[in-house]
């Protein structure tokens, strides 16, 4: 299989590492595709828990609206993956993440998702505050 180009993950400003688990392996001998979504989710949760990452105001929650994953190569246990994240778009009440998974310097998968900020009680979208926009802007990248 031809080598994928060197990952631009280093250009993404936020990173986490996750160890692959034996239980992540499917009967075909590679890490199951559903695990990729979990790895991306863990990375976003860490970002939203990080001081200076993104913070909902009281009574708000950011929910996943869309997610796409490009599976670029198989991933095998064991190993520790690096997951990079950046903000690629900031809207009125939503924002987009771009994420990448690398293993041993190889680009494994690319993900994109949109999160919408909603009022927890009314379950309707609410505009991002100036402070929230400022927080997200610090992590803005060109996809």
The C-alpha atoms of residue 12 and residue 122 are separated, in whole angstroms, by: 34
Query: 76 by DSSP, 3-state: which?
Result: coil
Residue 116 contacts residue 125 (beta carbons within 8 Å): yes
What pLDDT tens digit does each residue of the chain (143 aa) get? 333 333 445 689 999 999 999 999 998 889 999 999 999 999 999 999 888 788 889 999 999 999 999 999 999 999 999 999 999 999 999 999 999 999 999 999 999 999 999 999 999 999 999 999 999 999 999 86
pLDDT confidence of residue 3: 32
Whole-prediction pTM: 0.89
User: What is the number of residues in the chain?
Assistant: 143
Torsion of CA 120, 54, 132, 92, to 10 degrees: -70
């Amino acid at each position: 299989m031809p080598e994928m180009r060197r990952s631009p993950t280093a250009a993404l400003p936020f990173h986490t590492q996750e160890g692959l688990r034996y239980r992540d392996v499917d009967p075909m001998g590679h890490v199951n595709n559903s695990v990729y979504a979990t790895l991306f989710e863990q990375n976003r949760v860490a970002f939203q828990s990080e001081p200076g990452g993104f913070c909902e105001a009281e009574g708000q929650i950011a929910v996943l609206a869309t997610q796409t994953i490009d599976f670029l190569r198989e991933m095998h246990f064991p190993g520790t993956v690096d997951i990079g994240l950046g903000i690629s778009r900031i809207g009125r009440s939503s924002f987009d993440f771009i994420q990448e998974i690398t293993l041993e310097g190889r680009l494994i998968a690319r993900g994109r998702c949109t999160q919408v900020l909603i009022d927890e009680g009314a379950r309707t979208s609410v505009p991002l505050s100036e402070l929230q926009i400022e927080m997200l802007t610090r992590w803005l990248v060109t996809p």
